[in-house]
Structure 1
Amino acid sequence: MEGFVSQTQSLQALSALLSTQQEEEEEESKKVTIFTQLGPGHIGPPPTKDKDVTTAYVKRNNKDIWSEEGVADSCSDDLTDLRPQPEYEMILKQSVGTEDVFLGLSRRNPSSMCCEAMLVKIKLPDTEVTDVVLEVKEKFLDLRTPKHKLGLHLPNAVHSHKGRAQFFSGREELEVTLFLKWPMDLINMR
């Protein structure tokens, strides 16, 4: 009987050892799953649910860099307008003479900082020149036709009052030339 008691005690000791090991493994797996569920929203204090924020009046922070009223209406896309966007291509242009190419006298280089104009080629199949409505702002080009619409955010500021547009009916393509506006034109040797 003594052998049976020692075996029973051994089994109970082994069971206790294994059960604490299993509990530790379960706790570690819980920690791992907690850390895998954390994301950027868990940084900082948790949001308070007792504050009711009304959408009718929201106090403005004087450090805001923009407001929704400051965004132009033509920049927003109308999601209910199902007209497709036409194919377009933007090309930066610069005036280069022989003194630039061979001698480098004007300190121009092939970078975009030395470009004076931007050419936007827009393919408008089955469109007449009288159907095209074009509006150019400093950083936005808005083109509307009965079959197409294009709201294009420009990579550089342009002179909105300068520029020209030409429609080629044989190619069914509109070419818009926009002159770039650089903040320091005199320093950049333009």
Structure 2
Amino acid sequence: MECLGVSSFQNLKALSDLLSTQQEKEEDEDCGNVTACARLGPGHIGPSAKQDKTASTVYTKKNSKDIWSEEEVAEGSHYDDLTDPRPQPEYEIILKQSVGTEDLFLGLSRKDPSSMCCEAMLVKIKLPDTKATDVILDVKEKFLDLRTPNYKLGLHLPHPVHSQEGKAQFFSEREELEVTLLMKRPMDFINMQ
């Protein structure tokens, strides 16, 4: 009784024929003086190691004169003005999460102190000698742009935010602007439960 496993010559030849291309088959037929058993080995199964010169690469450049694409340019880079002499104010980013007693004492909602469980981002910006009416604030999904007569801040945010659902509050006694932004997370329905 013959074993019809992978080790039989006919099965290996059939597997090689299935995996090799037409060009490789033509090259194999050119070698007529060598027996089939001598030519067949583990290296002959599947496509050959020769690489086609027109093989596709991971990075393909488009046929244009563009140096970069729109996706490669960071959001907010058009706000950068190197000739603007205004200094950047001091700022601090604090991640916030809503925690109740059931979270703190019982651990019922699977929240932990990591940034993955945070719902909001608080940006504190110190603006000395500035009035609330002088502040111009623009928030995008990944960028915060703040302009005053004395300061400018173009801040790339560490996490995407809901740009329409934030709030800002100016504290005159501390000369500080607090911007609270709701974070946009793709897995919020899992992390916030």
Q: Which runs of 5+ in 2 are unaligned?
A: 1-61
8 Å Cα contact 1:75-1:151 kept in structure 2:
no
Q: Which is richer in helix?
A: 1
Aligned CA distance change for structure 1 residues 68 and 180 (closer, same or farther; 3 Å):
closer
Instruction: Give the match for residue 168 of structure 1.
Output: 171
8 Å Cα contact 2:76-2:143 kept in structure 1:
no
Instruction: Give the match for residue 153 of structure 1.
Output: 156
Question: 2:183 aligned to 168, 176, 180, which one?
Answer: 180
Aligned CA distance change for structure 1 residues 164 and 114 (closer, same or farther; 3 Å):
same
Trace 1:5-84 onto structure 2 (pairs within 5 A). 59-60=63-64, 66-67=69-70, 72=75, 75-84=78-87
* 1:185, distance to aligned residue in structure 2 (A): 1.4
Deviation track 1:27-80 (CA, whole Å, cap 9, x = no partner) reads xxxxxxxxxxxxxxxxxxxxxxxxxxxxxxx8339xx98338965556541001
Instruction: Give the match for residue 105 of structure 2.
Output: 102
* 1:188, distance to aligned residue in structure 2 (A): 1.8
Instruction: Give the match for residue 22 of structure 2.
Output: none
Instruction: Give the match for residue 137 of structure 1.
Output: 140
Deviation track 1:102-139 (CA, whole Å, cap 9, x = no partner) reads 11000000000000000000000000111100000000
Find the structure with the greater CA-based Rg: 1
8 Å Cα contact 1:74-1:142 kept in structure 2:
no
- Which residue identity is paired with 1:59? N
TM-score w.r.t. the length of structure 2 is 0.62
Distance 1:189 1:130 in 2: 36
Instruction: Give the match for residue 118 of structure 2.
Output: 115
Length, aligned pairs only: 132
Q: Which runs of 5+ in 1 are unaligned?
A: 1-57
- Which residue identity is paired with 2:149? P
8 Å Cα contact 2:95-2:118 kept in structure 1:
yes
Question: How much is the aligned-residue C-alpha RMSD, in angstroms?
Answer: 2.5
Distance 1:82 1:67 in 2: 28
* 1:187, distance to aligned residue in structure 2 (A): 1.9
Distance 2:123 2:79 in 1: 20
Identity within the alignment, %? 73
